Amino acid sequence: LAKTTQPISMDSYEGQEVNITCSHNNIATNDYITWYQQFPSQGPRFIIQGYKTKVTNEVASLFIPADRKSSTLSLPRVSLSDTAVYYCLVGDPYSSASKIIFGSGTRLSIRP
């Protein structure tokens, strides 16, 4: 079971690019990397998922180096509404749901 390590908190300003790195040194061959975003008083919301190299969607990009021992969630030109907690999850999509670990997440604060 891959354990993840993320910064507890990060601060940035509107219009900046924000990169949140997640370490997962024990990632297994079948594991995927998934990021969720959670606003106060809401449930987590899926942002992006990847296995290797780079994945991009309308919300974010996910960069995964060749050794897959870390990954970086990149949020381009953040706004105040991007203030949230971001969770990095690592696991085999075909494993039991009981293996899902959200961890403490990274609390991102965006300032004007």
Partner 1 sequence: EAGVTQFPSHSVIEKGQTVTLRCDPISGHDNLYWYRRVMGKEIKFLLHFVKESKQDESGMPNNRFLAERTGGTYSTLKVQPAELEDSGVYFCASSQEPQTYNEQFFGPGTRLTVL
The CA–CA distances, whole Å, from 36 to 66, 67, 87, 112 equal 22, 22, 5, 24
Nearer residue to partner 1 within complex by CB, 12 or 51 = 51
> Does the protein bind partner 1 through residue 49 (CB under 8 A)?
yes
Of the candidates 29, 58, 98, 112, which one interacts with partner 1 according to CB under 8 A? 98
The CA–CA distances, whole Å, from 104 to 40, 48, 97 equal 14, 18, 18
Element (H, E) at 110: strand 106-111
Which window, 15-23, 52-60, 63-71, 96-104, contacts partner 1 (CB under 8 A)?
Answer: 96-104
Nearer residue to partner 1 within complex by CB, 13 or 102 = 102
Q: Is 38 helix (H, G, I), strand (E, B) or coil?
A: strand
Question: Where on the chain is the footprint of partner 1 (CB under 8 A)?
Answer: 32, 34, 41-46, 49, 87, 89, 91-104
